[in-house]
Homo-oligomer: A and B are copies of this chain.
Amino acid sequence: MQAAAGEIEAALDMLLPRQPGPEAPLFEAMRHAALGGGKRLRPFLTIQCGRLFDVGMAQLRQVGSAIECVHVYSLVHDDLPAMDNDDLRHGKPTVHCAFDEATAILAGDALLTFAFGLLVRPDTHADPFVRCELIARLAAAAGARGMVGGQMMDLRADTYDHTIETVTRLQRLKTGALIAFACEAGGLMAKASPRAMSALNGFAHDLGLAFQITDDLLDVNGEEGRMGKAARKDKGAGKATVVEILGPERARDQARRLAAQAMHHLDLFDERADLLRAVAEFAVERDH
């Protein structure tokens, strides 16, 4: 994962534009948000899932970079005072603190737009049908019926009962949809079989939820320094999490079950899926 993170960092550094002039802070804010931090889980998944089908590395890096831009834009907007009001992200000031709120709103907007512009480039995939398929799936995963809908549901967490069903739906929308797209993108680029695509989708959703539960456990137990962001935030804000409903111990069991289930989805793939199997284990055993 560290190797992939390094490659994605370099790719983003190369791809993200710079520009002098009065709008320069916009470009700096986009780079501030996208560079120098993050696990790069989504592009890692895109690369590893694409490798199952021998998709070219340069193409996977480009699609992974686009997906990471969408993830980063969502963090920039999520951190805004009107949303989660966070000052720290990956151990650095959030964009609205390092710049200002208006610049953070615009930098998020520009990163989202940039992601679509990246996916549509001919060097992303030679077949325009595949590029359209990637764009359609990203729009669905990131939009009102995906990630943005999940953020809305999260903001209004005080308006509904927190049950395992509502919280699972929240996570599927808020983080699951984009993680699923990150995995499926690798298969889409190879025109993988419906059976393989369905395995990737199942893997992604179980992995995503396992990751999220572990994040929430770390948020309850974690120290701020190690996390690079304010810990215990979710509890204070009364956010809807699996940990809140099941308690830490049953939540950890549930995360382990999900990780095992995620691995099970990979049974139809050969040893090229070993890193994906390892990441399912890492999802629940990590301490940051």
- Chain A residues proximal to chain B, CB less than 8 Å: 17, 19, 21-23, 25-27, 30, 73, 77, 80, 82-83, 100-103, 105-106, 108-110, 112-114, 116-117, 120-121, 128-129, 131-132, 135-136, 138-140, 142-145, 148-153, 155-157, 159-160, 166, 173
Contact = CB atoms under 8 A, between A and B. Distances in A.
A37 to B, nearest CB: 21
Nearest to A101: B82
Contacts of A128: 128-129, 131-132
Given A128-B129, A144-B17, A144-B110, A153 B22 contact: yes
Given A105-B105, A128-B129, A26 B144 contact: yes
B110 A148 contact: yes
Given A132-B128, A139-B113, A149 B80 contact: no
A148 B109 contact: yes
Copies in the complex: 2
B110 A160 contact: no
Contacts of A153: 21-23
B22 A152 contact: yes
Given A22-B160, A26-B148, A153-B22, A120 B106 contact: no
7 contacts: A22-B156, A22-B166, A23-B173, A25-B152, A82-B100, A106-B151, A116-B138
Contact of A135 (B110, B112, B135, B143): B135
A267 to B, nearest CB: 33
A261 to B, nearest CB: 26
B109 A82 contact: no
Given A109-B77, A131-B128, A116 B144 contact: no
B77 A30 contact: no
Given A22-B152, A106-B152, 16 more contacts: A22-B157, A25-B152, A26-B144, A26-B149, A73-B109, A77-B109, A80-B102, A80-B105, A103-B152, A109-B148, A110-B148, A112-B112, A113-B142, A113-B143, A132-B132, A135-B135
B117 A136 contact: yes
A135 B26 CA distance: 22
